[in-house]
Amino acid sequence: MSQRLVLVRHGLSSFNTEQRIQGRDDLSCLTEEGFRQARATGAALKDLAIDAALTSPLRRARDTASALLETQGQGLVASDESLLLEIDLEPWSGLLRQEVKERFPSEEQGWRTAPQDLELCRADGSRYNPLAELMVQAGTLRQRLLAPLQGAAADSVPRTVLLVGHNAILRALVLRLLGLPASHFRRLRIDNASISVFNLAGDGSVQVESLNGCGHLGGSLPAKGSGQRLVLVRHGETDWNRQGRFQGQIDIPLNANGQAQAEAAAQGLADVHLDRAYTSAMARPRQTAEAILRCHPGVPLTSTHGLVEIGHGLWEGQLEAEIAASWPLLLADWKVRPETVEMPEGETLQQVWDRSLACWQTIVAGLRCDETALVVAHDAVNKTILCALLGLAPADIWAIKQGNGGISVIDYPTGASGDPVVTSLNLTHHLGGVLDRTAAGAL
């Protein structure tokens, strides 16, 4: 048995608009724009069969869940789940963000730079760590979500559970699902009424199918703030993707569907300002980048060998069944311990990790503080980059999904030398839906 989690943050609230701290107080309510976002989210999920829905009991989340499910049209009613309550910021709740800066300057600075270390004082005088408490709460929620999968029989149709919550608790849940510490809290972004999809298996493994999708709300990407932005795209489909052949460094071009995916990505990014573009030196990402840049005349495109796909060596051009006949143990290890495998006459994940990250850092360092760059590469390359930015390791490569033509967004709000924020991951709304329905491929 497997389970699909669909995470939705509540729509725009009155306190969001007023720039007030919400926390666990229930004084904030959805705005008209928040209700519109909730209905748009329901429409985006209309074709998805949802088996159960849980919501934070706070009004802004409950109203989002209600409007979403009414539009979604399955007749579901969300159940209250206290483990989806927002972070407890008791002494700050209701205050304007500017008031918090003025009255609690050191604590406010700590919340922005090292939230895992923040301590606050409750009305009764007791001190507490809000994020530490929230991580415990998120861990309990994770266990509750995984419990039905443990010991259950395999099932090809995943059970889908909708969770409607808040910014901090959803980020904490993502960290718990991925086994990441509270210190990585600021590496994620969850926008109002965004959709994130996670796939859970009975063995406890977790895959991020998508993160912070906002295309259903009217814009292409989440709003950009200060700092550099990189838009990371996987190339469109090839015939070998469709057939499930290992491509590696054999230079297979896009097929007709891949060209259509590249054009869809181009339309999805048409209103995004781009200053520069980089591509793997291979044909399929270059063709994808060129299609996108037709909507951005004058943007220079640079090819680099640092972004070429993993070298599968003797596996290249072969189907999985063919590889299993000659290298059964190595293929089995690739599926469960990929970081241990060196493909015959090919590369290891660590080698791909080292060269792709070095290339990525060179690109980031070359951008001015307000610039946005397009980067088009491959499945394994994109996965290693995203794993590194999230704080994962080469062993975690299967935790990240990259669909053909999928779009990810990485921001550097404090500059190229600061911590990255994975703003969105594997967005496929421009390809026709919330779920990634692109070819599974061979990797």
To the query of whether residue 33 is one of the catalytic residues in this protein, the response is no
Q: For the whole model, what pTM was predicted?
A: 0.96
Has domain 2-216 been given CATH number 3.40.50.1240? yes
Which of the following is catalytic: 108, 309, 316, 347? 309
Query: Which residue among 10, 166, 235, 312 is the active-site one?
Result: 235
Question: Where do you find CATH 3.40.50.1240 in the chain?
Answer: 2-216, 224-431
Selection from 386, 380, 392 nearest residue 352 by Cα: 380
pLDDT in tens, the chain (443 residues): 689 999 999 999 999 999 999 999 999 999 999 999 999 999 999 999 999 999 999 999 999 999 999 999 999 999 999 999 999 999 999 999 999 999 999 999 999 999 999 999 999 999 999 999 999 999 999 999 998 887 665 566 689 999 999 999 999 999 999 999 999 999 999 999 999 999 999 888 999 999 999 999 998 899 999 999 999 999 999 999 999 999 999 999 999 999 999 999 999 999 999 999 999 999 999 999 999 999 999 999 999 999 999 999 999 999 999 999 999 999 999 999 999 999 999 999 999 999 999 999 999 999 999 999 999 999 999 999 999 999 999 999 999 999 999 999 999 999 999 999 999 999 999 999 899 999 887 77
**Rounded to whole angstroms, how far apart are CA atoms 112 and 93?**
16
Q: Is 235 a catalytic residue?
A: yes
CATH of region 224-431, choose from 3.40.50.1240, 3.30.9.10, 3.30.413.10, 3.40.50.300? 3.40.50.1240
